[in-house]
């Protein structure tokens, strides 16, 4: 079926509209006509599409490295194929399993401690009655989202490091020193605290949007029935935004392994690979620092594939729950 755009930029003479090719005109002329009619729009899309083709699909095909004994000098075409041997090596590599373990530990800590934090902060923000005050607090808590991980980690060192502000206070009080930065035992809580500091405020946005949708009449009715703020929270607010909470939780589970890279890349050395190595830093240090590109690509591909399966499953679950998934594909 051919469709003629109304006066498509004056590119086609008006007579063409009446002489629309008959149904038997063949799909080829129809397609050419449509491309011609949409040519400005299609040209507008070219730079963006080119980017995705080169840097996403081109890179995707670079995953063949995972099946090669890649030698940079020989390139992809000249390197030897080794089948699944990188994957066999991976499954028997204690350093890989250590990275998996650390990734899972940090992912679990993030889920338990980071996930509820924005909800709590959003409830607090939502309860501020004055508009000016609320906007001020919102501006402040959104700000860290825009700072880079390098800055965030520099700030944490300044505050919590051995010669930092908090230890300065403690020694002024004559109390003992705390060892947080560079202490492997404190690494998990530290990285989660950093994540909360940086992203908690920004993550409130979606909860605040949900909170603003709650039907005010329900509060009114609850208040008339004598419900205090605690009971209104429990019986009105939370049930009303439950779909959003569930959806976000499901999607977060889909990205369970995506704990971030830069934050861990920057701090791995301070605690050593035993505690500090996660899957993505493992890929970096094996590939770029160790020169073992094929093996690093195999580990990266392995993580990528698990990630796709998780995200896909999470979206299916989200749809099953009657919510619209983020990835509409």
Partner 1 sequence: MSASAPAWMGRPGPAVRAAKAVALTVVVALVIFPLWTVLATSLASPQNVIENGGWVIWPEEFSFGAYAEILQGGIITRALLVSAGITLVGTALSLTCTIGLAYTLSRPQVYGGKPMLLLVLFTFLFPPGMVPLFLVVQSAGLVDQYAALILPFLVNVFNLVVMRGFFQSIPQELLDAARMDGAGELAILRKVVLPLSKAVIAVIGLFYAVAYWNRFFEAIIYFNDQTKWPIGTVLRQYVTGGASLAETSGELATASPQSVQMAVVMLATLPIVCVYPFLQRYFAKGVLTGALKA
- Is there binding between residue 13 and partner 1 (CB under 8 A)? no
Say which DSSP state 73 is in.
T
Instruction: Work out whether 28 is an interface residue with partner 1 (CB under 8 A).
Output: no
Neighbours of 158 (CB within 10 A): 13
230-261: b (≥16 Cβ within 10 Å) or e:
eebeeebbeebbeebbebbebbbbbebbbbbe
Task: For residue 34, state whether it binds partner 1 (rule: CB under 8 A).
Answer: yes
Question: From CA 247, how far away is CA 317, in angstroms rounded?
Answer: 9
| Positions in 290-319 near partner 1 (CB under 8 A) | 293, 296-297, 300-301, 303-304, 307-308, 311-312
Taking the complex as a whole, the smallest distance from the CB of residue 168 to partner 1 amounts, in Å, to 5
Q: For partner 1, which residue of 17, 26, 29, 52 counts as binding (CB under 8 A)?
A: 52
Q: Is 287 in the site for partner 1 (CB under 8 A)?
A: yes
Q: Which two tokens stand for residue 183?
A: 């202490």
| Angle at alpha carbon of residue 109, lines to 108 and 115, rounded to 5° | 90
The whole-angstrom separation of Cα 242 and Cα 207 is 10
The answer to whether residue 219 forms part of the interface with partner 1 (CB under 8 A) is: yes
C-alpha span between 243 and 237 (Å, rounded)? 12
d(CA 256, CA 259): 7
Q: Residue 273 — φ and ψ, nearest 5°?
A: -65, -25
The Cα 216–Cα 189 span in angstroms is 38
Single residue of 163, 175, 306, 321 touching partner 1 by CB under 8 A: 163
- Residue 282: C-alpha distances to residues 94, 119, 138, 278 (Å): 12, 33, 37, 6
- 165-184: contacts with partner 1 (CB under 8 A): 165, 168
Q: Which of residues 227-246 bind partner 1 (CB under 8 A)?
A: 229
Tokens of 307: 């990630």
Give the one residue of 153, 190, 251, 314 binding partner 1; rule: CB under 8 A. Answer: 153
* Tokens, residue 251: 């999607």
Q: Residue 195 is encoded by which pair of tokens?
A: 């994540």
**Which window, 16-24, 40-48, 86-94, 105-113, contacts partner 1 (CB under 8 A)?**
40-48
Give min distance, CB of 318 to partner 1, in A: 13
| Window 103 to 132, contacts with partner 1 (CB under 8 A) | 121, 124, 127-131
Residue 142 in the binding site for partner 1 (CB under 8 A): yes
Determine if 61 is a binding residue for partner 1 (CB under 8 A).
yes
Q: Which stretch binds partner 1 (CB under 8 A): 15-23, 90-98, 103-111, 143-151?
A: 143-151
Of the pair 84, 289, the CB lying nearest partner 1 is at 289
Nearer to partner 1, 29 or 158 (CB): 158
Binding status of residue 321 toward partner 1 by CB under 8 A: no
Asked if 282 interacts with partner 1 (CB under 8 A), we say no
Q: Which is nearer to partner 1, 97 or 327 (CB)?
A: 327
Q: Is residue 59 at the binding interface for partner 1, with CB under 8 A as the rule?
A: yes
Question: Using the rule CB under 8 A, which residue among 208, 245, 246, 249 binds partner 1?
Answer: 208
Measured from the CB atom, the residue of 119 and 296 that comes closer to partner 1 is: 296
How many Å separate Cα 51 from the centre of its chain? Answer: 20
* Least distance from partner 1 to the Cβ atom of residue 74, Å: 13
Cα(121)–Cα(119) distance, integer angstroms: 5
Q: Are 293 and 301 in contact (CB under 8 A)?
A: no
Number of residues that bind partner 1 (CB under 8 A): 105
């Amino acid at each position: 079926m051919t469709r003629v755009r109304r006066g498509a930029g004056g590119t086609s003479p008006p007579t063409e509209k009446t002489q629309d090719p008959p149904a038997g005109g063949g799909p080829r002329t129809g397609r050419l006509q449509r491309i011609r009619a949409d040519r400005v729009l299609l040209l507008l899309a070219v730079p963006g599409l080119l980017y995705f083709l080169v840097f996403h699909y081109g890179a995707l095909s670079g995953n063949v490295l995972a099946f090669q004994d890649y030698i940079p000098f020989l390139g992809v075409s000249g390197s030897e194929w080794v089948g699944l041997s990188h994957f066999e090596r991976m499954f028997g590599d204690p350093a890989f399993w250590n990275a998996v373990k650390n990734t899972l530990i940090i992912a679990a800590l993030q889920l338990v401690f980071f996930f509820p934090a924005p909800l709590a902060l959003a409830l607090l923000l939502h309860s501020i009655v004055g508009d000016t005050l609320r906007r001020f607090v919102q501006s402040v808590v959104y700000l860290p989202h825009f700072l880079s991980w390098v800055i965030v980690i520099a700030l944490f060192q300044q505050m919590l490091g051995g010669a930092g502000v908090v230890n300065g206070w403690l020694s002024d009080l004559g109390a003992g020193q705390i060892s947080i930065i560079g202490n492997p035992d404190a690494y998990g809580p530290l990285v989660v605290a950093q994540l909360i500091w940086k992203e908690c405020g920004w993550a409130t946005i979606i909860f605040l949007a949900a909170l603003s949708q709650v039907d005010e009449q329900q509060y009114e009715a609850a208040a008339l029935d004598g419900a205090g703020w605690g009971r209104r929270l429990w019986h009105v607010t939370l049930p009303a935004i439950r779909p959003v909470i569930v959806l976000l939780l499901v999607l977060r589970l889909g990205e369970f392994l995506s704990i971030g890279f830069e934050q861990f890349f920057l701090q791995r050395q301070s605690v050593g690979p035993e505690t500090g190595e996660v899957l993505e830093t493992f890929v970096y240090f094996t590939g770029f620092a160790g020169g073992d590109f094929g093996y690093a690509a195999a580990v990266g591909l392995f993580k990528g594939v698990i990630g796709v399966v998780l995200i896909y499953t999470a979206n299916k679950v989200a749809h099953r729950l009657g919510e619209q998934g983020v990835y509409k594909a």
